[in-house]
Amino acid sequence: MFRRPSGSPADRIAALRKELQRHVHRYYVLDEPSIPDSEYDKLFRELQALEAAHPDLVTPDSPTQRVGGKPLDQFASVRHKVPMLSIRTETDTEATGTKNFDARVRKELGLSESGPPVEYVAELKFDGLAVNLRYEDRVLVQAATRGDGEVGEDVTQNIRTIRQIPLQLPKEAPAVMEVRGEVYMRRPDFEALNERQREKMAQGAKGEKTFVNPRNAAAGSIRQLDPAIAAQRHLSFFAYGVGEITPQAEGGPVFETHFELLQTLKSWGFPVAAQTRTAKGAAELMAFYQAIGRKRDSLPYDIDGVVYKVNSLALQKKLGFVTREPRWAVAHKFPAQEQLTTVLGIDVQVGRTGKLTPVARLAPVFVGGVTVTNATLHNEDEARRKDVRVGDTVIVRRAGDVIPEVVSVLPEKRLPDALQFTMPRQCPVCGAAAVREEGEADYRCTGGLFCAAQRKEAILHYAHRRAVEIEGLGDKLVEQLVDASVVRTLPDLYKLDLSTLASLDRMAEKSANNLLEALEKSKQTTLPRFVFGLGIRHVGEATAKALASHFGKLDAIMDATEEQLLEVSDVGPIVAKSIRTFFEQAHNREVVEQLRACGVTWEEGEPAKRVPKPLTGKTFVITGTLPSLSRDEAKDRIEAAGGKVAGSVSRKTDYVVAGTEAGSKLAKAQELDVKVIDEAVLLAFLASPND
Ligand code: D41
C-alpha cells in the first residue's frame, strides 16, 4: 500500500519514522488512528529490520526505541511502582506458533524434550486499554493507564465509573494490592455509543465524533477529561495480573500459580474471562487457540488473540524478562480485523423489501479470517459521513458476525478527480422512483409490484392469508416459480397452467391442480384484501380497510390526491404520500389493470359520507415531556386526526400541548395568548368527533 523504499536506507528510515510518528500521535494522543494496526505493524517492522541492518542509523528518538503512548498533558502522571511490562507477540497462526513458545520456555528452564509438559494458563487477549488499579487498605485509591509502562496517566475518576471494578476489597485482601487488566468496550455498547454520537452530530452538536472501533472508544472514554461523560460510556473490565502487593512477610497472600491468583481476584469481585483455562504443553495451547478462534465471531467483544502464561509463579520468576517482555508469556494473534484496501466501485443493492443499500466493491482483502470483496455503506447518511469515493484507499473492518464495513478513508490517498457518491433517485433494478421518507434513513424503491428484486416478497404478500389469499402458495413455491422465470409479476400467476406447473421439480399433479384451484378461488376477493395485497408501504390491513370504506372504489383510491387521502381516518402525511407515489408509477397501475383483466374482482361500494376528522385545520405545538405519550406518538395521533404539528409557536398555533419541563415554547404561548392544554385534554380531543 505504501511507497516502496526510494533512495538510501537512511532516507527510507527517515520517511518511516516520520510516518510512524504521525500515526503514533493520532493513535495514542488523539485516540483516532488513521491506519489499521496491522498496517502500522508492517511499517514498524520494516523500520525495525532496517535499523537492525544499519545499527549506526539507530537514534534514541526512533519510534522503535519507545514503547507505548505519551500521556495527554491534562492528566497527572503516575509512575508505576512496578513497571507494566509489555507482551511478546506471536503472529504465526499455525501450530508452530505455540510450539516455538513452549520450546523456548522448556529450553530456558533447562527441561529435557521428553520430560513432563509445562503447565500454562491460556487467556483471551482483549482489545482494550491496559490499566493499573491501586488499592490501599482495601480501598481503590488510584487508577492509571499503562502509558509507556513506566509512567501512565491518572484516570482514577473515570475508572471509578466502571461498575465492574470493585471500589473496595474484602478484608482478606492485603494492605497494598495492585490489580492489572484491560478496560474494553463490548460491541453492543460500542454500537449504541456510536448511534448516540451520530444523533448528537445530527442535532448539530459541536465536537462530537463517532469512534472507529471499540478499542478506540474505550481508550477515548477513559482518557476523557470529564468523568460525567466517561460514566455514560458503558465500559467493561477484566483482570489479567497484579502489580505491587504487600509482601508475604508482611501478611501478603500466598499464591503459587497464576491461575490461583486469577481465581482469588474473581472471588474479590474482579471480572475474569470465563474462557480462561489451564493447558499442558504446546498441543493443548494450540487446541485453545483454535477453539477460541472458532468462537471469536460470536463473542460480544473484540479479542485480537489469546495469551499464554506459565502457570507456576516460581517458574515465572526463574524465567524473568528481557527488555520489558516477560519470557514466561506470549500473545498469540488472530488474523487482523482491519485492513487497508481500495474501492473499485460503489454499487447500490436492492433488498427484498425495496430498501436501497450502497455497497463498496473492494479489491479482495483478507480480514478477520475471510476474504472480503464488499463492504456495506449502510445508507445515504453513512456514505456521506464517511465520504467514500471510487478509487479511495479505505480501512475495512470485519469483526464478529457483523457484515464487513468501511471504517474510514485515508484522505491523503484520494485521487484528485474522485467524485462524491450520490444515492440514485431511481431503483437500479427496475428504474422506479427511489424515495427517502421524512425521518427515515433509507431510500426505497417504489416499484413494489414489478421490481425484480422485490418479486418474491410482492407475490408472497399478495398471496397471504389475510390479503388475496392463494392457499398453498408459500415461500418455497414462490422461490421456485420466480427462479424458473415462470412468474415475473402478479398477473403471471393467473396464466399458470397444468403443464407448466407439472414441469417444475417436486411438483406432483395433485398439488399443481390444488394450486390452480386456489388461484381460481382467489380471483373473487374484496377491495380491502386487494388493496392490502398490493403491498403499498405503510398500508397495512387496517389502513386498507379504511381506504376501501372511505373511497368505495379502487379507481377512486388510485386517483386520490394527497389531500383527499388525508381525509381518511388513520391516514397521515407519510401514508398519504406513500399511496400517491405507489400509484404514480405507471408500472404499478399496469399490474393492477392486468390483474383485473385476469378476472380478479371484488364488490365495489359507494364512498362513505365525509365525516370531518376531529382536528382538521388545527395546528399544535408539543413541548416538554407528556405523561404517557412520547412526542412522536402524540404527533402521529394528531396528524392521523387531521391536525398539523409545528415545531415553533406562532400566532397561527391553535394549541400548545405542554408536559413537564416545558421551556421557552410555553413562555412564547403565554406571550402570544395561545391556548395551552395538557395531555389529558389532547386525548379528549382525539376521542371526540369535534373539538
Ligand atoms: O487481554 C489482554 N490484553 C492481556 C494483556 C492479557 N490477557 N494478559 C496480559 N499480560 C501481560 C503480562 C504478561 C505482561 C502480565 C496483557 C498484558 N501484559 C499487556 N497489556 C498491555 C500491555 C501488556
Residue 197 buriedness (CB in 10 A; 0-12 / 13-18 / 19+): middle
What's the rounded mean pLDDT across residues 516-534?
97
> Cell 520468576 belongs to which residue?
317
Cα(465)–Cα(531) distance, integer angstroms: 14
- Residues contacting residue 288 through CB under 8 Å, at least 6 positions apart: 122, 277, 279, 306
Question: Which ligand 1 atom is nearest residue 307's CA?
Answer: 7
How does pLDDT run across 617-651, given as a tens digit for each residue?
Answer: 899 999 999 999 998 889 989 988 888 888 889 99
pLDDT the model gives residue 72: 46
How does pLDDT run across 55-114, given as a tens digit for each residue?
Answer: 898 887 787 775 444 444 578 999 999 999 999 988 887 888 899 999 999 999 999 888
Question: Which of 215, 203, 209 has its CA nearest to residue 229?
Answer: 209
For residues 331 and 285, is the Cβ–Cβ distance under 8 A? no
The DSSP 8-state label assigned to residue 613 in this structure reads -
For 513, what's the count of Cα atoms within 13 Å in the CB-facing half-sphere? Answer: 3
Question: Which ligand 1 atom is nearest residue 309's CA?
Answer: 13
Mean pLDDT, the chain, rounded, equals 90
Distance 97 CA to ligand 1 centre (A): 18
For 564, the grid coordinates are: 383527499
- 31 falls in which pLDDT band (50, 70, 90)? low
Distance 351 CA to ligand 1 centre (A): 44
> Which candidate in 99, 125, 386, 609 is catalytic?
125
What's the rounded mean pLDDT across residues 578-595?
94
Distance 327 CA to ligand 1 centre (A): 13
pLDDT the model gives residue 689: 61
Mutate to test the pocket of ligand 1, among 124, 146, 182 (most ligand atoms within 8 A of CB): 182
Residue nearest atom 15 in ligand 1 by C-alpha distance: 241
For 140, the grid coordinates are: 481503590
* Long-range contact pairs involving 441-445 (C-beta distance under 8 Å, separation at least 24): 441/378, 441/379, 441/380, 441/381, 442/355, 442/356, 442/357, 442/379, 442/380, 443/355, 443/356, 443/379, 443/380, 444/353, 444/354, 444/355, 444/356, 444/537, 445/350, 445/354, 445/356
Ligand 1: residues with CB < 6 A are: 85-87, 123, 125-126, 130, 146, 182, 240-241, 307, 309, 326, 329
- The reported pTM is 0.67
Report the share of the chain in percent with pLDDT over 90. Answer: 64
Question: Which of 560, 503, 506, 499 has its CA nearest to residue 531?
Answer: 560
Question: Which ligand 1 atom is nearest residue 238's CA?
Answer: 1
pLDDT of residue 530 exceeding 60, the answer is yes
79: phi then psi, degrees, rounded to nearest 5? -90, 125
Question: Which ligand 1 atom is nearest residue 126's CA?
Answer: 1
Name the β-bridge partners of 361.
Answer: 345, 374
Distance 323 CA to ligand 1 centre (A): 15
Mutate to test the pocket of ligand 1, among 105, 129, 301, 307 (most ligand atoms within 8 A of CB): 307
Cα(455)–Cα(338) distance, integer angstroms: 36
Mutate to test the pocket of ligand 1, among 84, 87, 88, 180 (most ligand atoms within 8 A of CB): 87
pLDDT the model gives residue 69: 44
Cα(325)–Cα(127) distance, integer angstroms: 19
What's the rounded mean pLDDT across residues 573-580?
92
Distance 1 CA to ligand 1 centre (A): 30
In the annotation, is 456 catalytic? no
pLDDT of residue 391 exceeding 90, the answer is yes
